[in-house]
Amino acid sequence: MTELLQLEFMRIALVIAVLIGLTAPAVGTFIVQRRLALLGDGIGHIALTGIGLGLLTGTSPVLGALVVSALGAVVIEVLRARSRTGGDVALAILFYGGLAGGVLLTNMQGGGTSMQSYLFGSISSVTVSDLYVIAALAAAVLVIVLLFGRELFLLCQDEEVARASGLPTRFLSLLIAITAAVTVVIAMRAIGLLLVSALMIVPVAAAQQLTRGFRATMLLAMVIGVLSAVSGLVGSFEYDLTPGPSIVMVTLAVFVLAVVGGALTRRRAHRAPAEKVEVEAAQA
Partner 1 sequence: MTTGDPFTMTGGRVRLEGREVLRGIDLRVATGDMLAVLGPNGSGKSTLIRALLGLVPLAGGRTEIYGVRPARFRDWHRVGYVPQRLTVGGGVPATVREVVASGRVARQSRWRPSSRADRAWVDRALAAVDLTDRARDPAQELSGGQQQRVLIARALAGEPDVLVMDEPTAGVDTGNQETLAATLAGLVEDGRTVVLVAHELGPLEPLITRSVVLEHGRVVHEGTPPPPEGECAKPGHDHVHPHEAADPPAPLRSWSIGA
Closer residue to partner 1 in complex, CB, 58/166: 166
Distance CA 71, CA 43 (A): 9
Q: Please choose, out of 68-76, 90-98, 206-214, 234-242, the segment that lies near partner 1 by the rule CB under 8 A.
A: 206-214
Phi, psi at 84, each rounded to 5°:
-95, -35
Is residue 166 close enough to count as binding partner 1 by CB under 8 A? yes
Interface characters, 211-250, with partner 1 (x: CB under 8 A): xxxxx-x---------------------------------
Of the two residues 63 and 219, which places its CB atom closer to partner 1 in the complex? 219
Of 108 and 263, the one with the shorter C-beta distance to partner 1 is: 263
Asked if residue 189 binds partner 1 (CB under 8 A), the reply is: no
Applying CB under 8 A, does 276 fall inside the site for partner 1? yes
State yes or no: residue 204 binds partner 1 (CB under 8 A): yes
Residue pair 114/55 in contact (Cβ under 8 Å)? The answer is yes
Of 3, 240, 268, 272, the one binding partner 1 (CB under 8 A) is 272
Tell me how far CA of residue 166 lies from CA of 74, 145, 151, 213, in angstroms. 22, 19, 10, 25
Sole binder of partner 1 in the list 93, 136, 139, 161 (CB under 8 A): 161
- Rank residues 57 and 157 by Cβ distance to partner 1 and give the closer one: 157
Interface with partner 1 in residues 8-47 (CB under 8 A): 29, 32-35, 37
Q: Which is nearer to partner 1, 43 or 156 (CB)?
A: 156
Binding site for partner 1 (CB under 8 A): 29, 32-35, 37, 147-148, 150-151, 153-154, 156-158, 160-167, 204, 208, 211-215, 217, 272-273, 275-276, 279-280, 283-284
